[in-house]
């Protein structure tokens, strides 16, 4: 081969390789500009999932006001799948889902919801059902055919698999299948997905599973402290789904759990039985002022401004130079604390400088009492019940 010919050949080869490797080496953009909101079956129902349950939840989402508050994705977690047929297609549990998944997806879409499903990067799911390993492209095509909008992808039975490569493979498979899907990585934070998953998925679990207990919830919260800088529009840290309403914490503790997830800009996936929830639970999950903080367009995760041991101050910057401050009393006793309001308003994550905001330009609002606070006294005392929060928003006048 002559030199010129050889050069042309190499050029063509490089171009072909580039096109092939980049054609679908990306996630779907613009799908999660704010943290995804919805419901997932796992925390309350485990493997006890069915068409009847999921349709009932969708109906309850509407009648309870959850849909109106912004909850959108309805996700079936583990145990909907029972095997693979001779051509490798995944088989849905026919007893529990008699009309199949497309029917369910259509129902969700007809009610204005998006439909989510669960699988796993390993050979089996965490409950021992068939996993996605080796079937990534085939499964992605199946999900697209059914009308799936959200995929939670777990990390059981992965033996020596490389996490990044495994999740990239499924990302590429979803992209190739052509139907936009929110990709939720459930790798439990083991390989620090916040360092590599920004271009792979829209959210990634940062820890192991949540348990419906105060100390377990707080341990997960504590693990988010150093991760604020990794979150932003389209790519969120996921401290796991909500336990609000599942019975293992007090109403006050659930209000704290929900508030912390809101200021963390965490995905808000309810995990309780929406068909039977009491007024307290409903009130927490549908607090629109708290949800607005979570969904704020700036997409910042709160940082810890002061850690005084039992008592902490967390600050979430919002769009339009607004700010939310969350006071947290993690102790078993009530606490009275002195607040210097102008200092809170200026609180910044850049320790060498503070925000130049002046109190006169803001209204301070309590997001649980839904009342404005009189900031005439710049230093004020606040009493926090055990395991409780106060959440304030500084609203531009
Ligand atoms: C793992 C995940 C959970 C849930 C179960 C299902 O434990 O972390 O969120 O999906 O698997 O088996």
| Residue range 79-105, pLDDT digits in tens | 999 999 999 999 999 999 999 999 999
* Token code pair at residue 194: 């916040």
* Residues 275 and 366 placed together within one structural domain of the fold: no
For the cut 70, the answer to whether the pLDDT of residue 281 exceeds it is yes
Among 245, 268, 294, the domain boundary falls at 294
Beta-bridge mates of residue 364: 373, 394
Answer yes or no: is 177 within a domain. yes
CA distances from 331 to 213, 387, 388 (A): 15, 6, 9
Q: Count of residues for the chain?
A: 397
Q: Which domain holds residue 332?
A: 303-396
* Residues 182 and 234 placed together within one structural domain of the fold: yes
Instruction: Assess whether the C-beta atom of 127 lies below 6 angstroms from ligand 1.
Output: yes
Query: Apex CA 281: angle with CA 211 and CA 288, to 5°?
Result: 110
Residue nearest to atom 5 of ligand 1 (CA): 126
How much is the pTM?
A: 0.94
Residue 3: predicted pLDDT? 59
* Residues 84 and 208 placed together within one structural domain of the fold: yes
Among 294, 326, 359, the domain boundary falls at 294
Atom of ligand 1 nearest to the CA of 127: 12
Atom of ligand 1 nearest to the CA of 77: 10
* Residues 48 and 137 placed together within one structural domain of the fold: yes
Q: Do the beta carbons of residue 388 and residue 338 sit within 8 Å? A: no
For the cut 60, the answer to whether the pLDDT of residue 324 exceeds it is yes
Cα-flanking dihedrals φ and ψ of residue 379, to 5°?
Answer: -115, 125
Q: How many domains does the chain have?
A: 2
Q: Do the beta carbons of residue 212 and residue 177 sit within 8 Å? A: no
* Residues 325 and 204 placed together within one structural domain of the fold: no
Instruction: Assess whether the C-beta atom of 75 lies below 6 angstroms from ligand 1.
Output: no
pLDDT in tens, 102-120: 999 999 999 999 999 999 9
């Amino acid at each position: 081969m002559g030199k010129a010919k050889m050069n042309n050949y190499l050029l063509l080869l490089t171009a072909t390789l580039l096109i092939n490797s980049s054609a679908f080496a990306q996630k779907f953009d613009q799908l999660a500009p704010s943290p995804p909101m919805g419901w997932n079956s796992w925390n309350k129902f485990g493997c006890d999932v069915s068409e009847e349950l999921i349709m009932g939840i969708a109906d309850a989402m509407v009648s309870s006001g959850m849909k109106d508050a912004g909850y959108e994705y309805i996700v079936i977690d583990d145990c909907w799948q029972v095997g693979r047929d001779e051509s490798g297609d995944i088989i849905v549990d026919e007893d529990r889902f008699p009309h199949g998944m497309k029917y369910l997806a259509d129902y969700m879409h007809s009610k204005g919801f998006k439909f989510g499903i669960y699988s796993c990067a390993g050979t089996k799911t965490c409950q021992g059902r068939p996993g996605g390993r080796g079937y990534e492209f085939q499964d992605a095509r199946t999900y697209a055919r059914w009308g799936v909008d959200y995929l939670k992808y777990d990390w059981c039975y992965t033996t020596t698999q490389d996490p990044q490569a495994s999740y990239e493979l499924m990302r590429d498979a979803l992209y190739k299948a052509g139907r936009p899907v929110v990709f939720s990585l459930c790798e439990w934070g083991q390989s620090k997905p916040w360092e590599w998953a920004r271009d792979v998925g829209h959210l990634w679990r940062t820890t192991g599973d949540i348990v419906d207990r105060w100390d377990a919830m707080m341990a997960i919260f504590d693990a988010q402290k150093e991760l604020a800088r990794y979150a932003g529009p389209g790519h969120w840290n996921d401290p796991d789904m909500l336990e609000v309403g599942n019975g293992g914490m007090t109403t006050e503790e659930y209000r704290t759990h929900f508030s912390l997830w809101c200021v963390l800009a965490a995905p808000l996936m309810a995990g309780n039985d929406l068909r039977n929830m009491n007024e307290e639970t409903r009130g927490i999950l549908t607090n629109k002022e708290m949800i607005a903080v979570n969904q704020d367009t700036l997409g910042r995760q709160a940082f810890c401004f002061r850690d005084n041991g039992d008592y902490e101050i967390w600050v979430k910057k919002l769009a339009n130079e607004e700010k939310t401050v969350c006071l947290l009393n993690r102790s078993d006793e009530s606490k009275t604390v002195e607040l210097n309001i102008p200092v809170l308003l200026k609180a910044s994550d850049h320790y060498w400088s503070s925000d130049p905001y002046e109190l006169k330009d803001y209204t301070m609002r309590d997001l649980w009492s839904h009342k404005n606070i009189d900031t005439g006294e710049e230093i004020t005392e606040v009493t926090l019940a055990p395991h409780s929060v106060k959440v304030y928003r500084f609203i531009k006048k």
